[in-house]
Chains A and B, each alone.
Chain A
Amino acid sequence: MIWILAALAFWIGTLLLNVRISHSRFSTTRAGRLVVPAIFGLTILVVWELLVRGLQVPSVILPPPSAIGARIASSLPVLWGDFVQTFVKGALTGWLIGCGAAVLTAIAIDRSPFLQRGLLPVGNFVAALPIVGIAPILVMWFGFDWQSKAAVVVVMVFFPVLVNTVAGLAATDSMQRDLMKTYSASYAQTLLKLRLPAAMPFIFNGLKIATTLALIGAIVAEFFGSPIRGMGFRISTEVGRLGLDMVWAEIAVAALAGSAFYGAVALIERGVTFWHPSQRRQQ
């Protein structure tokens, strides 16, 4: 009972604190914008811990954060092995191949308006389909190891990036293109100096969507068969053994990896498209 009351008290306390901070002038500063969500995240962890202890939730249903932290600390080598297998080999390789192929294909079909009008609706259609479903087929074709996961990722990221790149290459208006023509610029020059830079915000939009898809694809593909390592493999086997603390540890690693991946792409985007209005610093 005392745990539950403590959880309630902590929750109300941090809630009031957050309300106060967000209505003060501090919240408009950079630190304030970090502190408020940080307190909220901390609140969730503490209340989770206290409630699990107070209500005596069995750890096969929901382990407390402290147990998850201890599990992460004690099984770092396993987690690292899974991370390398799923993220570095599967997701990252697939992401690089898929995004590269998509951008090159987009430039190729850009030269033909016929293909553009034909391929874009098909691409849009395919991008909305549950492509995760092709995982069993690709696992059959490419074997159980990371190559099949990379293949799933390639197919999953290809269409969103393709659709965004094609839309981006059409983003320049005819006045700008006419200007390039009056300079007698060749197709390659127009592409490199005008249209690709103008397409960058769109391309990065696709690349950012693809980061999440890549990790999802690599993990779900492991549910259809994998060697005895990898995040998806670990999650599905540990769930079967009711080792929920290990499952949560993997989820924490996946969350960190996913956020870091997205953040890295967003940072590159800021460097490449510094001129775009959406990157201007907010007043």
Chain B
Amino acid sequence: MRSVVPVLTVVAVIVGLWYAAAVGMNAAWVRDQAARSGTEVSFLDLVPQTMTQERPVLPAPHQVAKGLWDGVTGQKVTSKRSLVYHAWITLSATLLGFGIGTGLGILLAVGIIHNKAMDQSVMPWAIASQTIPILAIAPMIIVVMNSIGVSGLLPKAVISAYLSFFPVVVGMVTGLRSPDRMQLDLLSTYNASRAQTFWKLRLPASMPYLFASLKVGIAASLVGAIVGELPTGAVAGLGARLLSGSYYGQTIQIWAALFAAAIVAAVLVGIVGWVQAVVLRRMGMAR
């Protein structure tokens, strides 16, 4: 609660700076128009005109808010102009990919901690792959899967899955290894089998690490789904909105899509955080 006032202040300052920047950056166009019609504009006339342009260089915050509001509530949900429709397309690819990536990631992590050969051969590559710009592969996956007859949701989900896969693997391996020597020794004095050690000690101990990775992974999934929409040439989804907005200079459309993506990301991370709080409290691990 202590930080509510500071956060609000910072946000207010950002909005203020944004308005000032909007006036500054859009003024050139207003002055051009005035010079063309041979009139002078005073500063007081200039300000309102920078706030209401069709295609401003930098839309004012209220223009973006209006674009967002129109996009969400102004159209029918099924309309191609509705942001809900586009957000849902992106979100469904994100969630499918996140599910696949998380599942595979956990399976691989279980394999890695139980098999020494796998650990030594796969793990260095898993870490090295973090340093590779995986998004570079996105257009190729789309085109290749399209050429073998798979299109729509699945190619984007594959990219999402790829991006959420490695954070989960790395976090889960760390988590499954987090029980210390003493705890493992205790279980072996109980004569616990490997499976029992896994289910009763390693898996519960890995939960905080898993959720930390899931938060990274779901944000990465969303980025993957958005970038996966770019090379298909602007059909549907938030990425397509960004791309078509950039082709036709519709700045308000770009900013509205951008904020829609940001809201979706914040909600997704928030949901994962909420599940984390509930699960950890149920397991008696909440701090």
Contacts and interface: CB of A to CB of B under 8 A. Distances in A.
Interface of A: 15, 18-19, 21-23, 27, 33, 36-37, 39-41, 60-62, 114-119, 121-122, 125, 128-130, 132-137, 139-141, 211-212, 215-216, 219-220, 223-225, 231-232, 235-236, 239-240, 242, 244, 247-248, 250-251, 254-255, 258-259, 261-263
Interface of B: 2-3, 5-11, 14, 57, 116-117, 119-125, 128, 130-137, 139-140, 142-144, 147-148, 215, 219, 222-223, 226-227, 230-231, 238-239, 242-243, 245-246, 249, 251, 254-255, 257-258, 261-262, 265-266, 269
Given A116-B6, A130-B226, A211-B131, 20 more contacts: A23-B117, A27-B120, A36-B117, A118-B3, A130-B261, A130-B262, A130-B265, A132-B227, A133-B262, A134-B258, A136-B254, A137-B258, A212-B131, A216-B134, A220-B135, A223-B139, A239-B142, A247-B140, A248-B140, A259-B132
Chain A contact surface mostly: helix
Contacts of A215: 133
Given A235-B136, A259-B128, A37 B9 contact: no
B144 A41 contact: no
Contact of A224 (B9, B124, B142, B243): B243
B156 to A, nearest CB: 14
A140 B249 contact: yes
A277 B161 CA distance: 34
A250 B136 contact: yes
Contact of B265 (A129, A224, A255, A262): A129
Contact of B140 (A125, A135, A239): A239
A16 to B, nearest CB: 9
Given A41-B125, A130-B223, A223-B231, A18 B261 contact: no
A261 B131 contact: yes
Nearest to A109: B10
